[in-house]
Amino acid sequence: MIQKKTGQTNGSRPARTSGISERKRAEEALRESERRFRDVAENALAWIWEVDADGIYTYASPMVEQILGYKPDEMVGKHFHDLFHPEDRQELKKAASGVFASKQPFRGFLNRNVHKNGQTVWLSTSGVPMLDQGGNLLGYRGADTDITERKQAEEALRASEETYRAIFNATNDGILVHDMETGEIVDANAAFLDRHGSTTKEARQFNVVPLGSGEAPYTQEDALRWIHKAARGEPQRFEWQSKDRDGRRIWLDMTLERATIAGQDRVLAISRDITERKQAEEALQESERRFRTLSEASFEGIAIHDKGRILAGNRALATMFGYELSEVIGMHALDLTAPESRDVLLRHIASKQQEPFELTGLKKDGTTFPAEGLGRPIPYRGKRVTVAAIRDITERKRAEEAFQKAREELESRVERQMERGNPYGLTFRELTILNLVAAGKADKEIGYELGISPLTTHKHLGNILSKMGAASRTEASVRALREGLLD
């Protein structure tokens, strides 16, 4: 008995000692685990936390103060709902309740929180459930990372993208975004799509050249070469023919430049519709061609001038003044005017009168001649200028002088005849007309020479026939000559 009892006593002592040792080792391992957790939690760049099954914080690492402004002991006892941004609170509470109910780990749960100073802080939250041996939820342990700067950058990028897209689609210029290597179209703005009557998907199928008309002076190979040059930082500019949504030919002013869009290097092709400008240029060229044809066919000198400075002229103008046409272009009209007429010319240019005026022209060799000018304002290459017609009136002046001399001689002759008297009581005007009738002049010629109308001439002639009792102008002329009434 003694031996048995002694044996039982000796056998039970190692069992108790072993149990105590195991417990101590477990406790020590737990303390070591807790120590390591604390070391990690208190030195991690993330905020480490624990909450109970009700969502109440039971632990918060020191990083919480840097992230949310609260000291760790201020966090203990708070509910995680209390930190959510008021605008998101209901939605986030609902989402968190679902996580707690599932007892599942979660990662990257994005949520807005409120810093102690009232500022908004964006957090990315991850957590794992803490369960007892029966699988009951004791709470969650997890970590929060401050992603505010990332969210701000994303928001700035989003705002930048919205601004870019707004400008991209608001401009009246068509814009294509090309891949720098292949030249393929990866995006097109509203102005381009509307101009060509296509969708973005269709535009991407245009490859390099959109809706080529077949009449364009350049090829797809040319376009791809320009895209590659622009990709190397050499901006390109050229004019391109295309077709609009209705199939009409249009002209585009194209600019290709390298640009970074949404973080990717691209080539922007900006096209401005210059069809109206090209049509205006073509119309101007046609107008100038017609002007050149007409002016070269004219016997008058034609000059287009801007406040006297000659911009264009015809050969007749150059010949009239003894110059080559190339010499006349760029001269001032004063250089072609004799000194005594320059004031007249300047007054005419300043007043922009549209009535004929006379002046004395000055040739290259220094000789002068009488000239007549007439100016009209016209649009010319985007400016308001004057087109002037210059006529050499030397022959006209000689004819006027001869005419005046003949008229003076006639009046002198009639005065002598009046002094001799006449039996018919003819007036000075009637006797003058009788002299012209005897010279074989018609009523129109007589009127022109005396400065009266043919009707007035006819009335005077009627009076003459009545006074002389003649039946015709021939009878009146013969009688006047026979009777010595006329010289």
Claim: this prediction has a pTM higher than 0.85: no
| Across 239-250, average pLDDT | 84
Which one has a higher pLDDT value, 3 or 473? 473
What are the φ and ψ backbone dihedral angles of 133, each rounded to 5 degrees?
A: -65, -20
| Residue 172 and residue 258 in one domain | yes
* Residue among 205, 207, 172, 206 nearest 189 (CA): 172
Domain presence at residue 141? yes
Q: Please count the other Cβ atoms lying within 10 Å of the Cβ belonging to residue 124.
A: 17
Residue in the structure block whose two tokens are 């009523």? 443
Q: Which two tokens stand for residue 327?
A: 């010499």
Residues 320 and 407 in one domain: no
Query: Are residues 164 and 245 part of one domain?
Result: yes
> Structure tokens of 453?
């109308």
Which CATH number do you get for residue 215?
A: 3.30.450.20
Asked whether residue 445 is domain-assigned, the answer is: yes
Q: What is the pLDDT of residues 455-470, one digit of tens each?
A: 999 999 999 999 999 9
Is 314 exposed, middle or buried, given 0-12, 13-18 or 19+ CB atoms closer than 10 A?
A: buried
Residues 185 and 229 in one domain: yes
Q: Are residues 191 and 237 in the same domain?
A: yes
The count of domains in the chain is 5
Q: Quick one: pLDDT at residue 197?
A: 84
SS3 content of the chain, % helix, strand, coil (to 5): 50, 25, 25
At residue 6 the predicted structure's pLDDT band, cuts being 50, 70 and 90, is very low
* In a domain? residue 308: yes
Which pLDDT score is estimated for 355? 87
According to the model, what pLDDT value does residue 254 have? 87
Within a domain: residue 151?
A: no
- With tokens 């391109």, the residue in question is 240
Whether 287 and 322 map to the same domain: the answer is yes
pLDDT digits (tens, 9 = 90+) for 83-104: 999 999 999 989 988 999 999 9
Across residues 194-220, what is the average pLDDT? 65
The answer to whether 108 touches 126, Cβ cutoff 8 Å, is yes
| pLDDT attached to residue 212 | 43
Task: Please tell me the distance from the alpha carbon of residue 240 to that of residue 224, in angstroms, as a whole number.
Answer: 14
Q: Do the domain assignments include residue 30? A: yes
Q: What is the pLDDT of residue 257?
A: 93
List the single range of 70-84, 134-148, 200-214, 379-393 with lowest mean pLDDT. Answer: 200-214
Residue 92 domain-assigned (yes or no) = yes
For 263-356, list the strands marked E by DSSP.
264-273, 301-306, 309-313
CA distances from 414 to 217, 432, 448 (A): 80, 6, 18
Query: Does residue 487 fall inside a structural domain?
Result: no
Q: Round the average pLDDT of the chain to a whole number and report it.
A: 86
Look up residue 376 and give its amino acid.
R
Q: What is the mean pLDDT of residues 293-313?
A: 84
**In the predicted model, what is the mean pLDDT of residues 361-373?**
94
pLDDT band (50, 70, 90) for residue 210: very low
**Which residues are CB-contacts of 242 (< 8 A; sequence separation ≥ 6)?**
196, 210, 211, 212, 213, 216, 249, 250, 252
Decide: 77 and 56 in contact? Cβ < 8 Å. Answer: yes
| Pair 107, 213 in one domain | no
Q: How far apart are CA 37 and CA 29, in angstroms?
A: 12
- Shared-domain flag, residues 384 and 424: no
**Together in a domain, 291 and 333:** yes
Domain boundary among 249, 273, 297: 273
Q: Is 403 left (phi over 0), alpha (psi -120 to 50) or beta?
A: alpha
Q: Are residues 80 and 60 in the same domain?
A: yes
Q: Which residues form the domain of 22?
A: 1-35
In sequence order, the 6+-apart residues with CB closer than 8 A to the CB of 303 are 310, 312, 313, 317, 328, 333, 387, 388, 390
pLDDT band at residue 62 using 50, 70 and 90 as cut-offs: very high
pLDDT tens digit sequence for 267-279? 998 989 999 888 8
pLDDT at 153: 87
> Is residue 14, in this structure, part of any structural domain at all?
yes
337 and 404 assigned to the same domain: no
Tell whether 385 and 403 lie within a shared domain. Answer: no
CA 391-289-244 angle, 5° bins = 150
For residue 191, the tally of other CB atoms under 10 A from its CB is 20
pLDDT in tens, 314-360: 889 999 999 999 999 999 999 999 999 999 999 988 887 788 999 99
Domain boundary among 248, 273, 298: 273
Instruction: Decide which of 392, 420, 435 is a domain's last residue.
Output: 392
